[in-house]
Structure formats: structure tokens, C-alpha cells
Amino acid sequence: MLSVKSLNPILYYKLDPGEWGSSAPASASTSIGRVSSHESSNIQRFEEKAAKQGCYVISKKITLNLNKEGDYLSATSGRSSVETYCPKKDKNERIKASLGSKIDTQLKKYSSDELSIKMLLTSSKNSAMKNLYKQDLKKIRERKLDLEQKKFRLYTQITLLLAQHLNIEPPAINLFV
């Protein structure tokens, strides 16, 4: 004789590490509602997080893994995901990349100059010329360090301005003052 429990078994769930929600069991007949409700609440949580960050949700996806358990088609697990677009982050990255490329170009020039002076220093036999090359090398290294510090300060200032929703145009910023 078949028991009612074998026709409508209880399914036990396990949450992913760090996932919010209930891992309470459900019968096979109510499992699809249980899992889809859980995944829908995940989507809602993702949307709220995106809205707080100033992002837009551009797509949502819920997938249920279905199996026959007893006499019922049941959901044994699920997966939810959202795809977002964040214009603030995108603008921030574009501005930093634009300014960063100007600074990085100058840093590369300093590195190239540093390398050529090092080569002249090692190949020079005259002590007076060696002293001049050492002074030039010291100046280049100081300029390079100053520029790297300026880059860090500039990125910090840009991040603060963007956080205040102020409009920043990269061509208007003079990097080498």
C-alpha cells in the first residue's frame, strides 16, 4: 500500500552561503510556489540594492530546476540574477581613464628618460658627467613621484566631486600645473 507521504514527499532546501531567506522544507505539491517566491524575493533585493547605488536593472532572470517527486512536478532548486547598468560608475571610469591616460603618458616619458639617463650614467667614464647624470636622474625621479602623488590626489578629488553629483569635464582639468 502506498502512503500519502510517498505521493507528496517533503523536500528539504539548503541556502547558498550568504544568501538570505528561509530554508524551511516544503511538500512537493507546494515546492514550485516556495522556490519561485524565494527567488522573487532575491530579485527584489537585487533591485533595491541597484536603486540605492543609482543603477538601473536592465534584465531579470529566474530559473527553477524541476523534477518529478512523488506524483508532483516539483522545484528542487532555483537561481535568480539581474543585470544592471550604472551610469555614475561608467562616467566615473571614463573620466578617470581620460585623465589617467594623460598622466600615464607623462609617467611613461619620465620612465623612458630615467632609463636613458641610467644608461648614460653607466657608460660615462668622466666623473663630472656622472655627477650631472646623477642630478638629472634625481630630478626625474622626483618629478615622477610628484606626478604619481598628483594622480592619487586627483582621483580622490574626482571621486568626491562625482559623489556630490557635480559635473566634471576632463578637458577642463589642467593636469600639469
Residue range 39-74, pLDDT digits in tens: 999 999 999 998 888 888 999 999 999 999 989 999
How much is the pLDDT for 165? 64
The position carrying cell 576632463 is 170
Q: Are residues 31 and 77 in the same domain?
A: yes
Of 56, 85, 114, which one is at a domain's C-terminal end? Answer: 85
How much is the pLDDT for 177? 45
Of 58, 85, 112, which one is at a domain's C-terminal end? Answer: 85
* Distance set, CA 149 to CA 24, 107, 154 (Å): 54, 11, 9
Residue 140 in any domain: the answer is yes
Residue 50 in any domain: the answer is yes
Residue 35 in any domain: the answer is yes
As a whole number, mean pLDDT of residues 3-30 equals 83
Using a pLDDT cut of 90, give the percent of the chain over it: 27
Q: Alpha-carbon distance 24 to 77, whole Å?
A: 13
How much is the pLDDT for 30? 93
Q: Are residues 41 and 115 in the same domain?
A: no
Joined grid coordinates for residue 142: 622626483
Residue 152 in any domain: the answer is yes
Are the beta carbons of 103 and 147 closer than 8 angstroms? yes
Q: Are residues 149 and 80 in the same domain?
A: no
* pLDDT of 110 strictly over 50: yes
More confident residue, 7 or 162: 7
As a whole number, mean pLDDT of residues 87-108 equals 72
Q: Are residues 109 and 57 in the same domain?
A: no
Residue 177 in any domain: the answer is no
Using a pLDDT cut of 70, give the percent of the chain over it: 80
What is the widest separation between alpha-carbon atoms in the chain?
106
As a whole number, mean pLDDT of residues 16-30 equals 85
From the list 152, 122, 146, the residue with the least C-alpha distance to 134 is 122
* pLDDT of 145 strictly over 60: yes
Residue 136 in any domain: the answer is yes
Q: Give the count of domains, the chain.
A: 2
Q: Are residues 79 and 15 in the same domain?
A: yes
Q: What is the pTM of this model?
A: 0.50
From the list 109, 116, 94, the residue with the least C-alpha distance to 176 is 109
Burial class (CB in 10 A: 0-12, 13-18, 19+), 108: exposed
Q: Are residues 15 and 35 in the same domain?
A: yes
Q: What's the N-to-C CA distance of the chain in angstroms?
A: 90
**Containing structural domain, residue 156:** 88-172
* pLDDT of 99 strictly over 70: no
Q: Which residues share a beta bridge with 78? A: 64
Residue 96 in any domain: the answer is yes
Enter the DSSP assignment of 2. Answer: -
How much is the pLDDT for 56? 87
Q: Alpha-carbon distance 45 to 16, whole Å?
A: 15
